[in-house]
Copies of this chain bind each other. A is one copy, B any other.
Amino acid sequence: MGNTFGHVFRITTWGESHGGGVGVVVDGCPPGLELSEADLQPDLDRRRPGQSSITTPRKESDTVQILSGVFEGRTLGTPISMMVRNEDFRSEAYNEMSVKFRPSHADYTYHAKYGHRAWPGGGRTSARETIGRVAAGAIAKKLLRQRWGVEVLACVTQVKHLSVTVDPETVSSEAIESNIVRCPDAVAAAKMVELIEEHRSAGDSVGGIVMGVLRGVPVGWGEPVFDRLEADLGKAMMSLPASKGFDIGSGFAGVTLTGREHNDAFRAEAGKVRTVTNRSGGVQGGISNGETIYFRVAFKPVATVMHEQDTVDVQYANTTLKGRGRHDPCVLPRAVPMVEAMSALVLLDHAMRHEAQCGHR
C-alpha cells in the first residue's frame, strides 16, 4: 500500500532495484498537452547515478519510455504509463546483503514487515524508485509552467557544516546547474565538492539541506484543514529517501522571534495584496498567498559506508558488515530533481482541486 500520491493528478509508482524495471502510472493528466520522452529525460538525467564525480558510479542510462496516454504527440487524458528498464546486473558485492541487514537502511524493517525481501540493491527501497516520481514530476512541471507560469526550482544550500544563504526570489536554474553539486553559489559549491570528495576518499558520506522554491504560484491553492499546502509539501518531502526534516518560511529559526517580529505586514501594490516580508513562506492558513514559496529539506548522510559496521543477520545473530563496490558519498545533487518533482506533483494536484471547487467563481 501507499504507492499512490495525489488526489486528482495522481501517480502510482512501482518497481524494485533489480527485476523488470521501475515505472509510474499518471492518472488525471489534462488532455492535449504536447508530450514526449524528450520532456522527461532531462530531469531523469539530473537524477541518474553516475552523472558526476561526487555521486555513485553505478551506471544506468535510465532511458524512459512512454507506453500509453499519448497519441500523435499529445496527451489523451488517459493514464500515462512510463517505464525505465533495469540494466544493472546483480553484483557479487551484494551477496552479503541477502543475509545481513545494512545499518540505517530499510532491510530489517522490510524483512520484519513483509517476511520476504528483495535484497538485491535494496529492492523497493532503492533510490531507483524515485525514477517514476521524477518522470511524473516533469509532466507536472510542464503543465504548471504552461498554464500558470509557475516555476519550480530546488538547490543545495548546505553540505555537512558548509552552508550558504540563497535568496528564493532571485536564485536561477542557470546558477544551480552551473556546478555538479547544484549549489547556486559558485564559491561555496567548489568547497562543497571538495568536502564530498574528501569523504568519498575516506569511504564515508555526508548529508545536507536542499531548498525548494516555487515562484509564481497564484493566490488560493491549498485545502484546509488537513491538506494544507505546507502539509502536503511536508509529506511529499518526508517521503523522499533519506529525508529527516522539513520546514517552510521562517521554519525552525522562526521560533526565536516574537509575534511582532515574525508577522508579515500586508501592503497593497498595484491592486494586488503583497506582504512586506515573507516569513510565512508563501503560505497562510494552508493556502498560497501569492508570494514565493520556499522550504528546506534535511537529508541525512548516505547510510552505505566503506567501513566495517556492527549489525545483525537474518537469524538475528550479531555480525558485522562492510560496504563494498560502488559508493555514493552524497545524495544531495540527485535529490534536487526529486524535490522539484514532488513539489510539482503537490502544486498541480492542488491547482486542479482548486479549479474543481472554486473554478466557477
Contacts and interface: CB of A to CB of B under 8 A. Distances in A.
Interface stretch (A105-113, A169-177, A178-186): A105-113
Contact of A3 (B21, B74, B224): B224
A231 B125 CA distance: 15
Contacts of A50: none
Given A16-B71, A263-B303, 16 more contacts: A14-B69, A77-B116, A77-B357, A112-B287, A205-B258, A206-B258, A226-B235, A247-B247, A254-B298, A258-B301, A262-B303, A265-B310, A265-B311, A273-B312, A355-B360, A359-B359
A147 B241 CA distance: 31
A254 B300 contact: yes
8 contacts: A1-B10, A14-B79, A76-B116, A226-B235, A234-B234, A244-B281, A255-B301, A262-B301
A273 B108 contact: yes
Contacts of A206: 258-259
B244 A245 contact: no
Task: Please classify the interface of chain A as helix (H, G, I), strand (E, B), loop, or mixed, using the class held by over half of its residues.
Answer: mixed
B284 A106 contact: yes
Given A19-B71, A30-B358, A238-B228, A258 B204 contact: yes
A332 B261 CA distance: 18
Contacts of A235: 226, 231-232, 234-235, 238
A52 interface: no
- Of listed A251, A258, A311, residue having the most chain B CB within 10 A: A258
A145 B12 CA distance: 28
Given A31-B116, A76-B16, A285 B21 contact: no
B355 A110 contact: no
Contact of A355 (B115, B257, B355): B355
Nearest to A234: B238
4 tightest A-B CB contacts, nearest first: A106-B285, A2-B223, A245-B247, A2-B227
B13 A12 contact: no
A259 B71 CA distance: 30
A8 B353 contact: yes
Copies in the complex: 4
B30 A361 contact: yes
Contacts of A147: 360
Interface residues of A, number: 158
Interface string A179-220: 000000000000000000001000011111100000000011
A213 to B, nearest CB: 17
Contact of A219 (B109, B250, B352): B109
B28 A1 contact: yes
A259 B75 contact: no
A252 B244 contact: yes
A287 B226 CA distance: 22
A66 interface: yes
Interface string A120-163: 00011100010000000000000000010000000000101100
Nearest to A264: B104
A124 B224 contact: yes
A124 B361 CA distance: 20
Contacts of A103: 263-266, 275
A127 B341 CA distance: 32
